[in-house]
Amino acid sequence: MNSKDSLEKLKLLRAEMQKHQIDAFVAMSADPHMSEYLPDYWKVRLWLTGFTGSVGTIVITQDFAGLWVDGRYWVQAEQQLLNTGFVLQKQTAEESSTHLAWLTKNLEKNAKISVNGQTISVQQFDALKQIAKQNHFQIETQLDLIDQIWDDRPTLPVEAIWQMRSDLTAQTRLEKISHIRQALHEKNASAHFISALDDIAWIFNCRGSDVEYNPVFLAHLFIDQHRTVLFIDAAKLSTELKTQFNDEHIEIQAYEQTQNFLTQLKDQHVLIDPAKVSILHAQTIIQHNQLIQDINPSTLFKSQKHDLEIAHVRNAMQKDGVALCHFFHWLETALKTQQPINELDIDKKITAFRAQQSGFIGLSFSTIAGFNANGALPHYRATEENYSDIQGDGLLLIDSGGQYEDGTTDITRVVPIGQPSAQQKRDYTLVLKCHIALAQTVFPEGIAAPLLDAITRQALWKQGLDYRHGTGHGVGYALNVHEGPQVISYYSPATIYTKLHKGMITSNEPGLYHEGKYGIRIENLVVNQPKVFQDQTYGHFLEFETLTLCPIDQSCIVLDLLSNDEKSWLNQYHQMVRERLSPDLKGEVLTWLINNTQPI
C-alpha cells in the first residue's frame, strides 16, 4: 500500500465519522478473540496505515491521525508512516505516553468516541471507560466504521481443522474439560465463556490454519457443568470429527450464533478472562447474568507442559536443529564462495530446510533476517520492495521458528559477515553474557517471572546499555509462539498470573540494538525443571533446561569478557548440541557442526 491509499482511506473514514457524529475513532490491533496474529478480515491497522508491526493502536479525529507503538517498532513505524497522514506516537511505560492520555488531553468534554466492541477486550474497555467517565466522553461500541469503507474486505477463513495424533497428547479433551469444570466449581462459577483461540485449540486437541503462523481455528467456546458448546463454522469439521464430538456430547453451533446464544443465557455466574473476551460479548452476558473476571483456567493448564509434551518438544527441537545446521552450512559456503545473497534468500533457504523435516507444518512467525541497520529493528521483515544485500562487513541477525506437529520453535542467532568491528564483538559478548546469566539462573518455584529480568540484564546495565523488549515470552506446544501467562520483562507487572511453574516453556532472548547500525539478539527456548536440593527447608526451586539445539557463533566472542563459569556453560551447551544432532547429520554438514561446537 502506498501513502496515497492511506490518505484516501483517512478521507473516507472521516466522512463516515461525520455522518455518525463521531469525534474520535479508536482501533485496537485485535479481532473478537484478542489475537496477536489476525485473519486478513481483521487487519484494520495494516489496511489503514500500511504499518506491518504486530501491535499498535490507532486514534483518528478530523484533524489528527496517530499510531501508538512501543519501542520495538519506533524506527519501523517512522519509516512506514511517512506521508500516510499518520503520526508516530512513541509509547513507553509512562501513562502520559498512551493513547488514553492523548484522548484525555485533546478531546473536548462530551466528545463521542467510536471503538468496535468486537475488537476491544473487557480489560481495555474498562481503561477507556475510566477516562471517559472522568472527562464526560461518550463511547460507541456498536459501529464498525471500517466495514462501511472497506469495499474489498476479505472474508473470514474456512480452513479445515485437524485432530492431533493421540500419542502427541497427554490428556483427552474430555479430561481437559473435566479439569476446567473443577476449576469453575472452585471459583463459584456456573459457566465459562472462552474466546482465546489457542486455549480452544489446546482444550480440543485440534489445530487449524485460520491464522497465519498460529495453528488455530476461529471459534468460541461455552462450558458449564453439563454442556460444552463449540461455536464454529461446521464446514471446518470433517465427518469423523463431527461424529466424535457428538459421541462426546459436544454441541456444535454456528460461529455467527455466538451472540444470540449469549443473549439467551440467564441466571448464570459466568467466568470470563477480561483480557481475552470482547466487551461486546461481555455486555451481552451481563444483561441477565453475573460476570466473574479471572484468567482462563485453560491458560494456566496449557502453560505447564506435561512431561510427554516436553519429550515431543525435544524431538521437534532436534529436527529444527538439523534443519538449522544445513542452513548455516549453506550460508557459510555461500559467503566463502562469494555467492550474491540478500535477506530474502535467508528466509527462503531456512524455510526450505525446515520443510524437509518430518511433521513440519509451517513457520511459527515471519522470519526476521536483518543485516546491519535492519538488524537494529527487532521486528524487521524483508519484503520484495525493501530488503538489503548481504555484503561488506557487519552482523546478520536471523530470528526464525517453525511449527511442527510435535512442537513450536523460536531461535535467534547472529552471524558475522566479513570483519565485524571490535565494538560489535564486545556488544555480542555482552549479550551472550546476559543469555548465559538467565540460562544458569536457579529460582524459587512460583516466583513472578518479571523479577528474573534484572538478573539477565546485568552485563548490559553495567555498561549503561539496555534493550526495549522483554527477555522472555511463553511458547505453546505446537501452538502460538507467543503464549502467556509468564513473561520475563521488567516492563510487565509481577502478578499472581506470571508465576513460574514446572513445565513452562519460555524464550531466553536478550539483545542490544544501535539504531541505524546493527542489532544483536541470542535466543534459545528453555523449560522450567525442578532443581532438587538435599535440604528443602527453603522450599522448592526450579532451573532452566535449554531446549534449542544450534551452535552459537563463537568467532564474535571476546574471550577475556567471559568468566570461566560462562565458558563452561557454553562448552557444555555445545557438547549437548553436538551429541544430539550428530547422529542425524553427515558429510560436510556434520563437519560444520563439529567445527562450530568446539570448546573454548
pLDDT reading at 71 higher than 90: no
Q: What is the mean pLDDT of the chain?
A: 96
Q: 574 with 452, same domain?
A: yes
The 10 Å Cβ neighbour count of residue 559 is: 10
**Domain boundary at 269, 298, 327, which?**
298
Q: Which positions ≥6 away from 342 have C-beta within 8 Å?
A: 382, 387, 388, 389, 390
Q: 378 with 269, same domain?
A: no
- Helix, strand or coil for residue 287? coil
| C-alpha pair distances (Å), 137 with each of 23, 68, 96, 114 | 10, 21, 18, 11
254/470 Cα distance (integer angstroms): 39
CA atoms within 13 A on the CB side of 294: 16
Within a domain: 156: no
Within a domain: 600: no
In which residue are the cell numbers 449469549 written?
Answer: 262
CB 487 within 8 A of CB 470: yes
In which residue are the cell numbers 505447564 written?
Answer: 304
CA atoms within 13 A on the CB side of 209: 11
Range of the domain at 183: 162-298
Phi and psi based region of residue 130 (left: phi greater than 0; alpha: psi -120 to 50; beta: remaining): alpha
Helix residue ranges, H only, 381-538:
422-439, 453-456, 458-461
Q: Which positions ≥6 away from 241 have C-beta within 8 Å?
A: 161, 163, 206
Q: 426 with 323, same domain?
A: yes
Residue 16: all three cell numbers together: 463516515
pLDDT tens by residue, 78-130: 989 999 999 999 999 889 999 999 999 999 999 999 999 999 999 999 999 99
How large is the average pLDDT for residues 464-480?
Answer: 97
Residue 235 carries which side chain, given as an amino acid letter?
A: A
CA atoms within 13 A on the CB side of 307: 2
Residue 538 carries which side chain, given as an amino acid letter?
A: Y
pLDDT tens by residue, 382-425: 888 889 999 999 999 999 999 999 999 999 999 999 999 999 99
Instruction: Note the pLDDT of residue 1.
Output: 52
pLDDT tens by residue, 194-235: 999 999 999 999 999 999 999 999 999 999 999 999 999 999
Q: 178 with 110, same domain?
A: no
Q: How many helices (H) and strands (E) does the chain have?
A: 19, 28
pLDDT tens by residue, 485-533: 999 999 999 999 999 999 999 999 999 999 999 999 999 999 999 999 9
User: Terminal CA-to-CA distance of the chain, rounded, Å?
Assistant: 49
CATH number at residue 402: 3.90.230.10
pLDDT tens by residue, 7-44: 999 999 999 999 999 999 999 999 999 999 999 999 99
Q: What percent of the chain has pLDDT over 90?
A: 94
| C-alpha pair distances (Å), 20 with each of 79, 145, 289, 428 | 33, 9, 31, 54
The angle, 0 to 180 degrees and rounded to 10, between the axes of the packed helices 307-336 and 564-581 is 90
- Helix, strand or coil for residue 145? helix
**Domain boundary at 298, 330, 356, which?**
298
Give Cα 340 to chain centroid, integer Å. Answer: 33
pLDDT tens by residue, 310-358: 999 999 999 999 999 999 999 999 999 989 999 999 999 999 999 999 9
How large is the average pLDDT for residues 450-471?
Answer: 97
Q: 443 with 379, same domain?
A: yes
Q: 143 with 174, same domain?
A: no
One-letter-per-residue 3-state SS of 194-205: ECCHHHHHHHHC
Instruction: Note the pLDDT of residue 511.
Output: 98
Q: 272 with 399, same domain?
A: no
Computed on alpha carbons and rounded to an integer, the radius of gyration of the chain in Å comes to 25
- Helix, strand or coil for residue 147? helix
| Number of domain units in the chain | 3
Q: 286 with 345, same domain?
A: no
**Domain boundary at 119, 149, 179, which?**
149
How large is the average pLDDT for residues 132-148?
Answer: 96
Q: 274 with 347, same domain?
A: no
Residue 158: all three cell numbers together: 474456512
- Helix, strand or coil for residue 93? coil
pLDDT tens by residue, 356-374: 999 999 999 999 999 999 9
Q: 562 with 579, same domain?
A: yes
β-pairing, 511-514 vs 518-521, is antiparallel
366/37 Cα distance (integer angstroms): 11
pLDDT reading at 70 higher than 70: yes
Within a domain: 217: yes
Q: 227 with 345, same domain?
A: no
Would you place residue 3 in the very low, low, confident or very high pLDDT band (cuts 50, 70, 90)?
low
Instruction: Note the pLDDT of residue 592.
Output: 98
Give Cα 480 to chain centroid, integer Å. Answer: 7
Would you place residue 464 in the very low, low, confident or very high pLDDT band (cuts 50, 70, 90)?
very high
Within a domain: 157: no
CATH number at residue 232: 3.40.350.10
Within a domain: 154: no
58/468 Cα distance (integer angstroms): 21
- Helix, strand or coil for residue 132? helix
Q: 393 with 430, same domain?
A: yes
Residue 279: all three cell numbers together: 466487551
| C-alpha pair distances (Å), 305 with each of 36, 277, 530 | 22, 24, 13
Within a domain: 155: no
